Amino acid sequence: MLVRVGEKRVMLCDCEATMPLDAEALARALGTETPAIATSLCRRQQARLAGEAPGIVACAQERAVFEEALTEAAGHAAAESLVTVDIRARAAWSKEAAEATPKIAALLAEAALPVPETHVVTLESGGVTLVYGRDEVAIEAAAQLGDRLDVTVLLTRPGDVTPPARTTFPVLQGTIRTARGHLGAFELVVDDYALPAPSSRRRLRFGPARNEAVSNCDIILDLTGGTPLFPSPRTRPGYLHADPADPVAVQKALLAATDLVGTFDKPRHVAYRPELCAHSRNRTVGCSRCLEVCPTGAITPNGDHVAIDAAICAGCGGCHAVCPTGAASYAYPPAEHLLERVRTLLTTYHAAGGTDAVLLLHDAEHGAALIDLLARVGDGLPARVIPVAVNEITQLGIELLAGAMAMGAADIRILATGRRRPDLTPLARVMGLAEASLAGLGYGTGRVQLIEADDPDSLGEELWQLERRPGTATPASFLPMGDKLGLMKLALRQLHAAAPEPAHVIRLPPGAPFGRVRIDTAGCTLCLACTSVCPTGALSADPDHPRLSFT
C-alpha cells in the first residue's frame, strides 16, 4: 500500500529486513495511514510497482531498477518523475537505528518538497580542438583525436620533434600568453607564433615568428605539463589539463575531449541584481568581496557593478556567502528553497519526538560518499544527526545558519575534505559571523563547526563524540520567502526572537557585513546624494522632514 506525504506517494522497503522500520510510528509522524513495508522491492516484490506509480521510493541505490519497472508499468512520465531518497545510509543503517524514526520521517517529508526550476546556460561546441604541448606526446594525442575532432597542435618552445611523414592536421609553434573563455568560445593570444617549414627533415623547423596572434577554438587539451592556463582548471568547461608523463591521465583527457561536441546545458548557479551591487559608485570602489573569493575568475569589475560570466562560474557559491547586499545570490537551488528544506526537516523531526538535532551539511560528491561508507563499515550516523546535501558547502550563507538555529537545530556541522579542498574563505567568514551572533545571543560557542574528514572512521568519531545539548526552547517555524537579503534579515530577526539572551547589540568580527553609518552632521548639507547611491536603500530621505534616515 502506498502512503501520501504532501503531494507525493511514498513506497517503503526495509532492504531485506536490514532496517528496523516502525510503520505505525512513521504513520503518526507523517500524519498518514500505516504503510505496508516491502522487504525486497527491487527484486522479488517488484510487481508492487505495477499499481499506482509512487512519487517517492525510499531507496536510492536501485533507482535504475525502479525506473525500468515504472517505464514498463506506467510509462516514461512515471519513471521521469520518480524521486528516490536514501533512508538507509542516512538513518537506518546505524547502531541507533531503532531511535531513528523521527529522522526517517523528516527525510521523507523533505523528499516530498517540490523541486524548483533550474535555469541553464547553453554552451555549443563544434569540436574545434587545440592540443597544446611540447613534443611528440601532443602530436600523438592529436592523431588519436583526428578522426573525431577538428584538431590543431600548438607546440610551445619545442625541442627536437620528428616531422610527420604526412600532414593530416596543422602542427604550429607558439606560446599562449593569455587565454579566456569556455567550451565553444575560447579566445587565445599567442606569442612566438610560426608555421612549420615543409622542408623539415631531421627535426621540425618553423618559419618566422610573430607575437600577439589571436586564435579561437571550442576545446583546449593542455599537455604542456606546466601551470594551467586558467584558475581552478578542473571546473573550466572545455579545458582539459593532463600531465604528459602520465599515459593514463592523457588517455582519460582524450576520452573526455571526444564527448565535448554538441550542445550542453550548464546550470546557472548565481542570480545577480546589479542595482544592489555595492562594488563601486562615483569611481570609488566600496566592495570587492565577491571578486576576492571567486576561484574561477568568473566575476570581473564592470563599471559601478561587477559582471558574472555564468558560463565560467563553477557554482561554488562563495559570492553568495560573502555578498552583503544580496546582489549575488545562489540559484541552484535558490536560498529560500534550501532554507525550506531545513525547515521541513527540523519541524518534522521535532513533531515526531526528535530532540537535540544536529544538521550535517555536506556536498554530494565527497560528503554523500563518506556517509554511505560510514553506514556500510561503521556505526552509521547518530539518530539525531540529520544530513543535508548542498551543491557546495561554500554556498552557505548566514541566512541558512541563523535560520536553522532559530528553527531549533542544536548544532550545525559542515563536512569538508581535508585534501585538495577548495578555498574555504567564504565559509570561514560566514561561520565566524554565525558564531559571534550565537554567542552574543546567549547560545554559547561551538554551535557551528567544520568537520574535516576523508575516511568514515574520522567522521564517525567526530559525530559520535558530539556533546548533547538542546537547541532553542521555542523553535521558530517561519516560511522562508524573499530574496537573499530579505531572507538574511528574516533569519536574523527570528534568531534574535528565539534567543536565550536577546541582546540588541552584538560585537561582530572585523569585516562583518553589518554596521552603522557615521555622518559628520556639522558638515552635512542634506543634499541627499548619499541616498541615490546607496544600493540597498539603507539611507533614505524623510519625505515630511528635512532629515536623513538609516536602516
Q: What confidence tens digit (pLDDT) does each residue in 288-330 have? A: 999 999 999 999 999 989 999 999 999 999 999 999 889 999 9
Average pLDDT of the segment spanning 381-401:
96
How does the average pLDDT of the chain come out, rounded?
92
The SS3 of residue 138 is helix
Give the per-residue pLDDT at 509: 86
Give me Rg for the CA atoms of the chain: 28
Helix (H) or strand (E) holding 63: helix 63-74
Round to whole Å and give the CA distance between 468 and 434. Answer: 20
Residue position matching grid coordinates 584538431: 151
The SS3 of residue 281 is strand
Say yes or no to pLDDT of 1 above 60. Answer: no
Round to whole Å and give the CA distance between 519 and 530. Answer: 11
Say yes or no to pLDDT of 530 above 90. Answer: no
Round to whole Å and give the CA distance between 381 and 323. Answer: 34
Contact (Cβ atoms closer than 8 angstroms) between residue 40 and residue 88: no
Residue position matching grid coordinates 557585513: 513
CA dihedral for 342, 57, 66, 365, sign (positive or negative) = positive
Round to whole Å and give the CA distance between 234 and 328. Answer: 23
Q: Pick from 101, 114, 113, 103: which is nearest to 27 by CA?
A: 101
Give the per-residue pLDDT at 52: 65
Which residues are registered as beta bridge partners of 186? Answer: 217
Average pLDDT of the segment spanning 405-412:
96
With bands split at pLDDT 50, 70 and 90, how would you rate the model's confidence at 80?
confident
Q: In the 3-class helix/strand/coil scheme, how is 322-383 assigned residue by residue?
A: HCCCCCEEEECCEHHHHHHHHHHHHHHHHHCCCCCCEEEEEECCCHHHHHHHHHHHCCCCCC
**End-to-end Cα separation, the chain, in angstroms:** 55
DSSP 88: I
Residue position matching grid coordinates 555564468: 310
Round to whole Å and give the CA distance between 20 and 1. Answer: 18
Say yes or no to pLDDT of 51 above 80. Answer: no
Say yes or no to pLDDT of 540 above 80. Answer: yes
Phi-psi label, residue 184: left if phi above 0, alpha if psi -120 to 50, beta otherwise? left
Round to whole Å and give the CA distance between 315 and 311. Answer: 10
Output the pTM of the full model: 0.91
CA dihedral for 230, 236, 238, 244, sign (positive or negative) = positive
* Residue 40, C-beta contacts closer than 8 angstroms, at least 6 positions apart: 13, 16
Round to whole Å and give the CA distance between 107 and 58. Answer: 9
Selected residue with higher pLDDT from 182 and 485: 182
Q: What confidence tens digit (pLDDT) does each residue in 456-511 have? A: 999 999 999 999 999 888 888 888 988 888 899 899 999 999 899 989 889 988 88
With bands split at pLDDT 50, 70 and 90, how would you rate the model's confidence at 283?
confident
Rounded alpha-carbon distances, angstroms, from residue 208 to 167, 170, 192, 211, 222: 20, 16, 9, 11, 24
Say yes or no to pLDDT of 7 above 80. Answer: no
Q: What confidence tens digit (pLDDT) does each residue in 191-250 have? A: 999 999 999 988 999 999 999 999 999 999 999 999 999 998 999 999 999 999 999 999
- 398-406 helix and 425-440 helix, angle to the nearest 10 degrees: 40
Q: What confidence tens digit (pLDDT) does each residue in 337-355 have? A: 999 999 999 999 999 999 9
Contact (Cβ atoms closer than 8 angstroms) between residue 174 and residue 213: yes
DSSP 97: G
Residue position matching grid coordinates 526550476: 117
Round to whole Å and give the CA distance between 249 and 247. Answer: 5
E-only strand ranges, 342-495: 358-363, 385-390, 411-416, 448-452
With bands split at pLDDT 50, 70 and 90, how would you rate the model's confidence at 421?
low
Round to whole Å and give the CA distance between 458 and 486. Answer: 38
Give the per-residue pLDDT at 422: 67
Q: What confidence tens digit (pLDDT) does each residue in 90-142 have? A: 999 999 999 999 999 999 999 999 989 889 999 999 999 999 999 999 999 99
- For the chain, give the number of residues: 551
Which residues are registered as beta bridge partners of 357? Answer: none
With bands split at pLDDT 50, 70 and 90, how would you rate the model's confidence at 512?
confident
* Residue 89, C-beta contacts closer than 8 angstroms, at least 6 positions apart: 371, 372, 374, 375, 376, 380
The SS3 of residue 189 is strand
Average pLDDT of the segment spanning 242-263:
97
Rounded alpha-carbon distances, angstroms, from residue 547 to 515, 527, 544, 551: 20, 10, 9, 13
Q: Are strands 548-550 and 83-84 parallel, antiparallel or unpaired?
A: unpaired
The SS3 of residue 257 is helix
Q: Are strands 186-194 and 213-217 parallel, antiparallel or unpaired?
A: antiparallel
Burial class (CB in 10 A: 0-12, 13-18, 19+), 482: middle
Task: Express as a percent the part of the chain with pLDDT over 90.
Answer: 71
Q: Are strands 219-222 and 128-133 parallel, antiparallel or unpaired?
A: parallel
